[in-house]
A = this chain, B = another copy of it.
Amino acid sequence: MAYHFRNDYSFGAHPKVLKALCQTNLEGNPGYGADSHCAAAAGMLKELCRAPDAAVTFFIGGTSVNFTAVAALLRPWEGVFCAGCGHINTHEAGAVEATGHKVLALPAGPDGKLSLEELARALPLYGDVHLVRPGMVYLSDATETGGVYTLAELESIARLCREHRMYLFVDGARLGCALTARGSDVTLPDLARLCDAFTVGGTKNGALMGEALVLANPALHEDFFRIQKQRGGVLAKGWLIGAQFEALLSGGLYFDLARHANEMAQRLQEGLVRKGVPFLFPSPTNQIFPIVRDEDLPGLQALCPLEVWGPAEEPGHTIVRLVACFATAPEEVDGLISAFPAP
């Protein structure tokens, strides 16, 4: 039997979410998101963000929402700062550049976080008008390696953004896991207050598909539908996403699922640490990165299909990624702990 820790998009939807979606099947809804489910879900999210002046719209996927936000917010001569490991700089196949904008990648540590210091160091270079103007800071929260920003970090970066007329955008594909991570001090109202725009990811947290985009800055609302349509981000049967977010945001289900995913990953991490397995860094969320001997890799892959993250610093070792999700059971975690190759 194989274990399922390859990623957090291998299973469909949480049963409550799937049921809500199925119930809409023959309602006869207006198309393109102009339906009551999208309206209700948007209202719930604005309420949770305490942001009555925000606008909320729904996208199908993360790449799509990221490049559409960049294209909508930036002027043609502007670029976007991000960590070198940032999703827009790597696994989106040049999607941001395809909209005409330069990604300005900065160094980040193993937690994948972009620091105020790196931003402050980079900014003066771009005073030269032969270069692009930095117009946005892109953060992933949680990051691609599971790191989580503190409120103090977000506040200082938001301040820098305002001082330098840059938008702050947070890619929240795994925002649920970030907000419910042990020790996290950031809330949805904090994000709505500090960011110009951010996403609340559904795909990796209990939905079949769907990312909510919160346009917290009212200056960004006008004509947004047109660019979302132009970039392929409007679903004809838009209520499918609205209904799923209605279900996720009801009774805190969204946060419960994220907390569960975090707990399962933490249980796995702690178990492996106890066995002496080293880690890239102590990730607090649902993605963890153990380091294994190269000769143990094939056996581990057979046991538990996974993503190889890259070579470890220590020769002969490899960093791998294990991911928990809403559907991960504690028994699976404990089984993998037992079966995992001892270092």
Contacts and interface: CB of A to CB of B under 8 A. Distances in A.
A236 interface: yes
Interface stretch (A88-96, A111-119, A138-146, A294-302): A88-96
Contact of A61 (B7, B62, B131, B234): B234
A179 B151 CA distance: 56
How many copies of this chain are found per oligomer? 4
A99 B103 CA distance: 14
Contacts of A18: 22, 25
A67 B31 CA distance: 20
B60 A130 contact: no
B31 A12 contact: no
Max count, chain B CB within 10 A of own CB: residue among A13, A27, A223: A223
A24 B12 contact: yes
A240 interface: yes
Contacts of A247: none
Contacts of A25: 11-13, 15, 18
A97 B79 CA distance: 10
Contact of A10 (B15, B28, B103, B130): B28
The 9 closest A-B pairs by CB, nearest first: A64-B232, A12-B25, A77-B226, A93-B230, A94-B132, A94-B102, A97-B102, A93-B229, A77-B227
